[in-house]
Amino acid sequence: MTRWERSVPVYGIPVITRGFWALCALIAVGLVLTVVREVVGLGGSISGMSDPFAWGLWKTFNVMVLTGLGSGGFAVGIAAWVFNNKKLHSVMRVALLTSFLAYSTGLIMLGVDVGRPWNFYWVAWLPTWNLHSPLLEIAVCMSLYASVPLFLENLPPLFEYLIYEHPKWRGFALGCEKAMKSVYPFIVGLAYILPIMHQSSLGALMILGGNRVNTLWQTPFLPLLYVWAAAFLGYNCVVLCLLLAKLAWKRDLDPSVLLELNKLTVWTVYSWTAFRFLEILFRGKILHVFTDGYLSILFWVETALILGSAYVLSTEKAKKISTMFQAHAVCALGGMIYRFSPTTLAFHAKEGATYFPSAIELIVSLSFVAIAVLAYLVAVKKLAILPGSNEEWLKMAKYEEQAKPGIQLTGYAPVEH
């Protein structure tokens, strides 16, 4: 077992593999279908959406659910920078990268989903803003977050890459890095307040669904529950990425950091679940957890997946890597269902109305996920994202310096304050 001291690129493995081409193929098909959707519209066999179910997978899954999963950037970030949990600095880069990819693909997906995207330029003209609209809050905050603080937070690995591998750009990158350091606390502050605002607004969206959203989900506290769920989903996603790196590239794990993340997940889930039950109780709707047929079952499925896996994470069993992996995966699944339910499963759109995504919706949705996965796979091999030990860095440096004569990955930078 090792200690995570710095981020180290995945080395000695080609970027272009069979999986790379498979993802590219899926993306290509998805992009072609996106063009078809733009030309034909959303009707007919293009999407399963209808007037009662006006929102389909692209919004409810790619945005509502996946940006929750991509909340590691702010969930881990707050713990590390605001609450000074020093262990978590080592996994920040993974968290930030997953967040950026989830958000950017989600935002592009939104652009594909809406019917009149050319009118979106109004977002730049403040007097047209309807400040009562939760969606306006999301449109402004989410695009601002992804394009400014989250984007900036993801730059340091890129600067580092330039510093080491492109001497021509070294001066520029060093300058940028220095400038970034001088304003870093202001950037991270923005990177936490904006997600808190828009992740809660994602919940506020469904408040306007009124009593068509089942009472077990519909509450004035839906925004709070949404952002809270985003926090543990973010932790789940980061841990899963780290464990997958072990599986795929045999990266060493630092149990102390993972256990710290487990602890955070467990307490976030416990408090979230307690709040959810108490809120339903005080609203006087507690009997609905038994009386609403399949929706009651859905409620218990969510609770069991989330709470059960958090319980497993709190025990000694979670020290076993496979158990930890399964628990986080199940917890993430439960959280994703929770974020999805109010929009679709627990949304009584209209008597007799149903929604099931069309094949095209599914493929396009998956192809946007594929874009994020592909970008992630390339990034961790080219940039120092995944955490490792100093020893690992030295090994990597030796390997890379042999493969690419002329670059120097150790002992380069002068000590500076």
Partner 1 sequence: MAMTRREAFKTLAKGSLPLLAAGCVSTVLPEVAHAEEEKIEAPKGALGLLYDATRCVGCKSCMVACSQANDLKPDTTTDGIHQAPPALNYRTKNIIKLYRTADGSDHSYFKQQCMQCIDPGCMNACMFGGLRKDPETGVVWWKGTKCVGCRYCEIACSFHIPAFQWDGVNPKIVKCELCRDPIQKGLRKQPGCTEVCPTQAVIYGRREDLLKEAKSRIAANPGKYFEQRVYGEHDAGGTQVLYLSRVSFDKIGLPNVGEESIPSGLKYSHMLYKWLALPVALYAGMVAFAGKNFKEHSHHLVEDQKKTGLRPQL
Q: Within 355-384, which residues bind partner 1 (CB under 8 A)? A: 384
Q: Among residues 20, 184, 249, 311, which is the contact residue for partner 1, using CB under 8 A? A: 184
Considering only 21-29, 65-73, 198-206, 354-362, which stretch makes contact with partner 1 by CB under 8 A? Answer: 198-206
HSE (CB half, 13 Å, CA atoms) of 245? 26
Residue 350 makes contact with partner 1 by CB under 8 A: yes
Residues 79-108 that bind partner 1 (CB under 8 A): 81-84, 86, 89
Q: Among residues 17, 25, 35, 41, which is the contact residue for partner 1, using CB under 8 A? A: 41
Binding-residue total with partner 1 (CB under 8 A): 85
Q: Between 14 and 39, whose beta carbon lies closer to partner 1?
A: 39
Task: In whole angstroms, give the CA distance from residue 157 to residue 401.
Answer: 18
Residue 193 makes contact with partner 1 by CB under 8 A: yes
Q: Between 294 and 412, whose beta carbon lies closer to partner 1?
A: 412
Q: Among residues 14, 18, 45, 132, which is the contact residue for partner 1, using CB under 8 A? A: 132
Considering only 143-151, 190-198, 225-233, 289-297, which stretch makes contact with partner 1 by CB under 8 A? Answer: 190-198
Total Cβ atoms within 10 A of residue 101: 22
Residue 267 makes contact with partner 1 by CB under 8 A: no
Contacts of 238 (CB under 8 A, 6+ apart): 72, 76, 91, 94, 95, 98, 261
Considering only 19-27, 196-204, 229-237, 248-256, which stretch makes contact with partner 1 by CB under 8 A? Answer: 196-204
Structure tokens of 17?
Answer: 């593999």
Handedness of CA 338, 339, 340, 346 (dihedral sign): positive
Question: In degrees rounded to 5, what are phi and psi of residue 61?
Answer: -100, -55
From residue 48 to residue 77, the character string flagging contacts with partner 1 as x (rule: CB under 8 A) and all else as - is -xxxx-xx----------------------
Contacts of 388 (CB under 8 A, 6+ apart): 2, 4, 5, 6, 7, 8, 251, 252, 396
CB of 96 to partner 1, least distance (A): 11
CB of 240 to partner 1, least distance (A): 23
Among 218, 216, 300, 316, CA closest to 266: 316
Handedness of CA 93, 94, 100, 101 (dihedral sign): positive
Q: Among residues 29, 31, 136, 333, which is the contact residue for partner 1, using CB under 8 A? A: 136
